[in-house]
Amino acid sequence: MSEQIKVLVVDDSSLVRKIVTDILEKDPGIKVVGTANNGKTAIFRNQELDPDVITMDIEMPILDGLAALRQIMATKPKPVIMMSVLTQHGADATFKALELGAVDFIPKPSTLMSMSVEEIGDLLVKKVKSVYKSKLNINRIEDEKIKSPSFKTEIKPVLKSISDKIVAIGTSTGGPSALINVFKKFPEKFPSPVLVVQHMPEGFTAAFSKRLNDSSNLSVKEAEDGDDVLPGHGYVAPGHSHMNIVKKGDGYKIRVFKADKVSGHMPSIDVLFRSVAEHAGSKCVGVIMTGMGKDGSDGLLKIRETGGYTLAQNEETSVVYGMNRVAVEIGAVNEIVDLSEITDKIVKHI
């Protein structure tokens, strides 16, 4: 049998520690080498046990998950997956953790009524395996650590005309921090709309949209069915539905709808990309970024085939070089670029 992935489980609840341990150890490729009930113990266990991956609670006594994460990333960095509760405070802390170096998050068992413990468990096992395989990438991305954005409170200008160019971006594991990096570089009065599918559980996309809005010159919101697609605005697909666009006069409207998973996901990047290719054709820029799996690769190929310009985040700055790797392999990508260059490339081709 191949070497097992060593995981450290950190949570102040003994019940949650047992649930997470049982979920992980059902997979023969994973071994829970230890647990911790607070952040201080987690730092010690990380040094002592040298796990491959850490699952980390946020709210804990003695030392919370954010403080522990800072210490771990500064002393012995590991891929850390946060266990998040669905509250405003929990969501804010989760996105702060991603900015501090955590690679991803999942909802804690029983946090989301729409997801069963089995579904959360399946998601956790997949994420552990994907970030373990990409641990060297995680270390390299630390070299250009994404700084917390300087949040702005001023009213942003609302542009009146509808642009004939559309930007569509797809991301998954490692995407939230990478997207903040991209969005904070958009110039004022950016002349096109930006549509985003980020694989994220239901309930967290509204808080993430606000995070992007506060760190960007764009006016960003969680997309709603019937929204007009306006320049200078960003639209994030809600975690419970697909998102695509339909023609409306000289512009477009957003459709948000529930359906079967596509490419294993709802929302699916492929759903958005295919509709952008169909309706905008050459008047779009498609971007595929860090994430496991292959969602978005086929849709990006359609964008390129219809004359749109396509970008892929490079391996060196991707937490998981998965979706973007597949897109490159099937010939869907015009240009492979560093994370720090993505916004400039988008602006150049608008």
Asked whether residue 171 falls in the same domain as residue 125, the answer is no
Classify residue 146: in a domain, yes or no.
no
> Which amino acid, 118?
E
Is residue 308 within 8 Å of residue 282, measured between CB atoms?
Answer: yes
pLDDT value of position 92: 85
Contact 322, 293 (CB under 8 A): yes
> Dihedral angle at the C-alpha atoms of 315, 316, 317, 322, nearest 10 degrees?
20
Confirm whether 206 is domain-assigned.
yes
The pLDDT of residue 158 is: 43
Residue 132: the pLDDT is 85
Number of neighbouring beta carbons within 10 Å of residue 298: 18
Which amino acid, residue 107?
Answer: P
Active-site residue set: 172, 199, 295
Contact 159, 231 (CB under 8 A): yes
pLDDT of the residue at 348: 92
**Residue ranges, the chain, pLDDT below 50:** 1, 135-161
Q: Same domain for 221 and 112?
A: no
Confirm whether 214 is domain-assigned: yes
pLDDT at 110: 57
Angstrom distance (rounded) from CA 42 to CA 231: 46
Give the other-Cβ count within 10 Å of 230's Cβ: 19
- Decide: 117 and 109 in contact? Cβ < 8 Å: yes
The total domain count for the chain is: 2
Cα–Cα–Cα angle for 208, 214, 216, rounded to 5 degrees = 100
Q: Are 208 and 171 in contact (CB under 8 A)?
A: no
- Give the pLDDT score at 318: 92
Each residue of 9-35: pLDDT tens digit? 999 999 999 999 999 999 999 999 999
In a domain, 145, yes or no: no
Cβ partners under 8 Å of residue 160, min gap 6: none
Tell whether 97 and 198 lie within a shared domain. no
**Cβ–Cβ under 8 Å, residues 286 and 298:** no
Task: Note whether residue 26 is domain-resident.
Answer: yes
Domain of 280, in residue numbers: 166-348
| CA–CA separation, 102 and 124 (whole Å) | 14
In a domain, 173, yes or no: yes
Of 236, 131, 137, 255, nearest in space to 183 by CA: 236
CATH assignment at residue 25: 3.40.50.2300
